Amino acid sequence: MVSLRELATKATSTLSDMPSSGTRNIHSMEGIIAKMVDLETEINQDIDTLVDLKCEIVSLIKQIQNTEYQTLLELRYLCFKTWEQIAVDLGYSSKHVFYLHDKAVALIQVPKSSYHLG
């Protein structure tokens, strides 16, 4: 995206003995700007989808009554911590963290209208 933006705003001149035609190639500039707009639109749509997905994940985690399970799921799926980091943070062995994770995930009921990435 940055390289397209730089290309769109780049102005260069060439010194030559030949007289210039006086016209610029505005078609390539239009193409670059159109690509930028399309990419920005696509990125914004992806961001909106990810924000909605994160809100849905938060909602699902909050439905679990056990705060220890909530914390574990938040550390893993919202903070993106490794299993080892979670074990250290919670003061458990990795094996116990996996056990708790299995218990927590079993309590989650994903709605049928959930997002599918890919």
For 93-113, write each residue's pLDDT tens digit: 999 999 999 999 999 987 776
Q: For 47-62, what is each residue's pLDDT tens digit?
A: 999 999 999 999 999 9
Tell me: do 87 and 31 sit in the same domain: no
Range of the domain at 94: 65-110
Domain tally, the chain? 2
Quote the pLDDT of residue 82. Answer: 97
Tell me: do 2 and 51 sit in the same domain: yes
Q: What token pair was written down for 87?
A: 């074990």
34 located within any domain: yes
Tell me: do 1 and 58 sit in the same domain: yes
Taking phi over 0 as left and psi of -120 to 50 as alpha, with beta for the rest, 113 belongs to alpha
Which of these, 68, 70, 80, 54, lies nearest to 108 by C-alpha position?
Answer: 70
Q: What token pair was written down for 75?
A: 């550390």
96 located within any domain: yes
20 located within any domain: no
Tell me: do 2 and 45 sit in the same domain: yes
Tell me: do 1 and 33 sit in the same domain: yes
90 located within any domain: yes
Q: Which one has a higher pLDDT value, 39 or 30?
A: 39
Give this prediction's pTM: 0.64
Tell me: do 96 and 78 sit in the same domain: yes
Which of these, 78, 61, 60, lies nearest to 70 by C-alpha position?
Answer: 61
Tell me: do 48 and 94 sit in the same domain: no
- Please state the φ and ψ torsions of residue 102, each to the nearest 5 degrees: -60, -40
48 located within any domain: yes
Tell me: do 69 and 33 sit in the same domain: no
Q: What token pair was written down for 96?
A: 């116990």
Tell me: do 47 and 104 sit in the same domain: no
